[in-house]
Structure 1
């Protein structure tokens, strides 16, 4: 078993969850929604991956935008999607959910003839099942004949291969046709027929997990211990009863007289914000221990801790902790009963669950606005020409890149929106500016309400903010800048955007460049942890070492530093590259005017045409990429 490629394969529901963002009101009154992936099997696949297991998912998604959203998010989460089938005839499942109060979580399932309920036995590969230590089947996928056949086929292949079988009872009365569509939150309705049906497939399981209500339906009794006994009569599986804030109880063999006489591990005391997905978080944590043959107590501790973190947050799969985060929580706890108010834990969650890894960024920066406006003077051209030229830069950059996964752009939406939209195809690193050009103290181009501006941005766009900052700034300037930076950071947290801070000295010379380190230090002391820094390139290794030590001291999860070009000539850039490549904290460059300014001047004066400009930009960018690669491999 230890040499198997996968730890866990989950089989079952996969949907798009639309979570109401307004809390404490009716679902009817909700005005906006956050979009996540969801469904029991999908949440567990994501959760186990975050917790360090190699996980896979067998499901179906629609051949449409929401199906691609599910598929791409699973990829970003590290889940094996080789057996996620795109169904051309059906739409992806959809769930609309809300948080009414601490006990009421209305949700509506849009699952009529949906893709994940079309899984067939032919979708299950015996070789794939045999490659895993365990499979997780879910109760909902025994509610209809087609998906039941697929689940039973997977269980048969698992028994043949010696793969362990885990059952998440996952009882949803609405999925069995027992409630109206508007009563999707109802978690228990007695049904002798469903009890009998469930009891036909629990016999082959090695681990059975459910809430008390789910154990009731599986065991055919609302007396929990009696239901557990009935399950034991039918199955030798270890039985885990989830008890919410009371923790969980495990019955690995004989069933005692009282429920509390099992292996009972109490839960973590946290304020309940949202129970939806907490069970999937629990299962993910429990499996982290179970797959690694940890003690029952340790499995419960992992499950309880993961569930406690999820129950304190908005969303299901996005709330599940990483392994680093769960270890920190179990070791250190939290001073906050409202875990969502724990800024340190929230930062670990945000930093260790990032969607994409960018080990290197080689970006072309053409987010300039005032500089292009200056180029218009005396040409007779209008602002439309700036947009036209930015499209040429984007096309030239695309022409220049080969197989580089490090391709990136810095581009504005004032003049570069058309190019920005074309670039936003999930193929490159994108950052866009928010600062008002030339502002000192810092102002935002769209006004003070920066959070409302960022809510209009795709989540994948990184927020870039250039700030002229020096430890020696006058007190009134510094107070204003600090207020703006803190507001920006809070807006990034609220909208789930990464932040790139471009810190440049008030006046550019060797003396003021040395102040950059002090500026970064002060910004960290404000409680701001940008994912990226963009700075003038330090000229020696000692300064790079100091930058690296500063970042490690304040935020070891920082993605790294990108150097800017400042319109210097290529030979000077080469010298800067040579120094920065020796520092692991330097992840690349974002260079603009060194690539396109001379070309722009000629184009705006009508000395070259579009094709020539595009080719020159492509050549310059390609030369820079090649130079970086050669120095890196030297």
Structure 2
């Protein structure tokens, strides 16, 4: 992450909160039943937006020493935003905002900001070295509403200007946060007030860029005539003025203010269905700054801002809806887009795939999500199935013996018998997978709820949904179509609940297999609209199979995370041999193996022949053998044998 010793493009200062967005739309906030939790606050959204667009950003704010404050700092880190300036306030809680989408013109907001952490920001919180590390700082109007935050903002601006950096002012006018409306009128965007105008104008001599809607220009200029207001602003500052005009795009004014907004520098606008205006202004700012801070022509800066605003106005949420650079380039490539932009499947996939966090070029997973197999072991050993959860809870102890910083380990555990392990894994830095399929079902059926979406909605966000399907491309057509309908339902549920999806395919149980079989199965699923984040596939003894698989995945979804190998209870020696073949294919990222590792230890533990410690030692040794075999295979494939075995098997 960029820090004070490295040059940042932008530091934003001010609001940082939790946005709780009503998940039901088309009704009153009173009738919304559930809320999605996102990171929020205008400068926080902009910091994330510019980071996604390839700039190096940081944030100065305060958050509470609470769960939501930790969520904000963790989310900023995931988004690549420098958190050097984020202070932890043990006396105040992190701010909250409840938001709803009632109709295209009505977006109720309730701000819970009484004595909140970010409004306690003071000049003493401003680290001069951190501010001097940035090429620009951004302040916003909300943080001019109280003396302490006003002083902090102005202090940061003066440090920036002394260092030769530029100052950006997002007018960001919320009358309710100035005490000018009742607390239930958070969506009100304009109340004229001479005192607010005077306060805002105090920062104008410090600014190089000022951005606001027409209403925000009205409050800053002290007139409800937009041209008159902007001319009043121009009298106090030579800054570039950018007026956001909604569906009409924007107009930028580097010099004198003409008689019409249309006579400014105008970037290309975009006609998009307005689903949610909240956050669109922050997205506009991020897009505009992506161009302005990189020295792009002013019209291009405007186009970037308009495009980012159009993308976000079509989605639920603010910060999570911000586009990435790849996504913005695709949006601007000239391809016709639907008016209801969120129906653009290709663009939505790029958004999803390019905003996933974490890179897993080498992933080794202990898979203990088996359910029917453990029930069989209990019958064989005479053990009570009620003991299965206790054995599965040992999984993490075994992984802990091998894992160290910089290495990617994971666990696959189920909710039926492995819930204690899943709960314990919540505080650990592991990749976590969880099965959704009813064991052995063909056609595919889902475990727990008949409605897979409501089931997955109860899972933590970091649980990767794993689905095993016995699927052969030569299956009868009606069976293929039944299974494909289920997989599409599951993928839709995962995207809507923001869970990654791993599809595990076993083709060998129900038909002949050659070097093309798995690739044909994957291609058919791509043809049906499937684009899982991960594939989990059977090992293969020939390189041609992997070449065919890689060709299909790269050709249909170059953003796919990759393939994990399954084990099918093969011996460790057989798996090591298959690793040597698969490791030569870059699409294969590692393995998720279970029974090869745990079968013997589980049988002996359930029979009472070994205790917990002995079982953990056995699991760690077996898992470690496969980890070393995989890494040795990867090192051999890359020609760097010095990077093979990284630790001795326990």
Give yes or no for TM over 0.5: yes
- For 1:498, the equivalent position in structure 2 comes to 500
Please tell me whether the aligned partners of residues 279 and 312 of structure 2 are also in contact (alpha carbons under 8 angstroms).
yes
Q: Does 1:614 align with 2:616?
A: yes
Q: Does 1:60 align with 2:62?
A: yes
1:35 is displaced (CA, Å) by 0.6
Moved more, 189-198 or 373-382: 373-382
Count the aligned residue pairs: 632
Residues 272-323 of structure 1 deviation map (CA, whole Å, 9 limit, x = unaligned): 0110000000000000000110001000000000000001111111111111
Moved more, 620-629 or 310-319: 620-629
Q: 1-side partners of 2:475 and 2:512: how far apart?
A: 17
1:153 is displaced (CA, Å) by 0.7
- For 2:644, the equivalent position in structure 1 comes to none
- For 2:115, the equivalent position in structure 1 comes to 113
- For 1:200, the equivalent position in structure 2 comes to 202
* Partner SS, residue 270 of structure 1: coil
Q: 2-side partners of 1:599 and 1:24: how far apart?
A: 55
- For 1:348, the equivalent position in structure 2 comes to 350
Q: Does 1:543 align with 2:545?
A: yes
- For 1:253, the equivalent position in structure 2 comes to 255
- For 1:380, the equivalent position in structure 2 comes to 382
> Mind listing any 5+ residue stretches in structure 2 that lack a counterpart?
636-640, 642-650
Q: Does 1:623 align with 2:621?
A: no
* Partner SS, residue 467 of structure 2: strand
- For 2:416, the equivalent position in structure 1 comes to 414
Please tell me whether the aligned partners of residues 600 and 613 of structure 1 are also in contact (alpha carbons under 8 angstroms).
yes
Q: 2-side partners of 1:234 and 1:333: how far apart?
A: 43
1:426 is displaced (CA, Å) by 5.2
- For 1:22, the equivalent position in structure 2 comes to 24
> Mind listing any 5+ residue stretches in structure 1 that lack a counterpart?
none
- For 1:156, the equivalent position in structure 2 comes to 158
- For 2:10, the equivalent position in structure 1 comes to 8
- For 2:38, the equivalent position in structure 1 comes to 36
Residues 337-395 of structure 1 deviation map (CA, whole Å, 9 limit, x = unaligned): 00011111111111111133323211000000010000111533222111111112332
Q: 2-side partners of 1:164 and 1:589: how far apart?
A: 49
> Matches of residues 445-460 of structure 1 in structure 2 within 5 Å?
445-460=447-462
Q: Aligned match of 2:338 in 325, 336, 340?
A: 336
1:475 is displaced (CA, Å) by 2.0
> How large is the Cα RMSD of the aligned pairs?
1.5
CA gap 1:310/1:533 in 2 versus in 1, 3 angstroms? same
1:334 is displaced (CA, Å) by 3.8
Please tell me whether the aligned partners of residues 238 and 250 of structure 1 are also in contact (alpha carbons under 8 angstroms).
yes
1:204 is displaced (CA, Å) by 1.1
Q: 1-side partners of 2:336 and 2:344: how far apart?
A: 7
CA gap 1:273/1:363 in 2 versus in 1, 3 angstroms? same
- For 1:47, the equivalent position in structure 2 comes to 49
* Partner SS, residue 465 of structure 2: strand
Q: Does 1:215 align with 2:226?
A: no
Moved more, 254-263 or 451-460: 254-263
- For 2:227, the equivalent position in structure 1 comes to 225
Moved more, 311-320 or 399-408: 399-408
* Partner SS, residue 558 of structure 1: coil
Please tell me whether the aligned partners of residues 276 and 315 of structure 1 are also in contact (alpha carbons under 8 angstroms).
yes
- For 2:317, the equivalent position in structure 1 comes to 315
> Matches of residues 461-480 of structure 1 in structure 2 within 5 Å?
461-480=463-482
Q: 2-side partners of 1:585 and 1:552: how far apart?
A: 8
CA gap 1:247/1:522 in 2 versus in 1, 3 angstroms? same
Moved more, 327-336 or 6-15: 327-336
- For 1:243, the equivalent position in structure 2 comes to 245
- For 1:432, the equivalent position in structure 2 comes to 434
CA gap 1:449/1:512 in 2 versus in 1, 3 angstroms? farther
Q: 1-side partners of 2:511 and 2:524: how far apart?
A: 20
Residues 556-598 of structure 1 deviation map (CA, whole Å, 9 limit, x = unaligned): 1100001111111222222122222221111111011111111
1:482 is displaced (CA, Å) by 1.3
- For 1:270, the equivalent position in structure 2 comes to 272
- For 1:595, the equivalent position in structure 2 comes to 597
* Partner SS, residue 57 of structure 1: strand
* Partner SS, residue 513 of structure 2: helix
Q: 1-side partners of 2:336 and 2:69: how far apart?
A: 37
Q: 2-side partners of 1:342 and 1:145: how far apart?
A: 46
- For 2:487, the equivalent position in structure 1 comes to 485
Residues 141-183 of structure 1 deviation map (CA, whole Å, 9 limit, x = unaligned): 1110111111011001001100100000011111111111101
1:486 is displaced (CA, Å) by 1.3
Q: 1-side partners of 2:229 and 2:153: how far apart?
A: 24
Q: 2-side partners of 1:628 and 1:47: how far apart?
A: 38
1:409 is displaced (CA, Å) by 0.7
Q: 1-side partners of 2:339 and 2:603: how far apart?
A: 59
- For 1:528, the equivalent position in structure 2 comes to 530
Q: 2-side partners of 1:81 and 1:342: how far apart?
A: 34
1:267 is displaced (CA, Å) by 1.9
1:485 is displaced (CA, Å) by 1.1
Q: 2-side partners of 1:513 and 1:424: how far apart?
A: 39
Please tell me whether the aligned partners of residues 405 and 428 of structure 1 are also in contact (alpha carbons under 8 angstroms).
no
Q: 1-side partners of 2:49 and 2:336: how far apart?
A: 21
* Partner SS, residue 285 of structure 2: helix
1:448 is displaced (CA, Å) by 3.1
1:333 is displaced (CA, Å) by 4.2
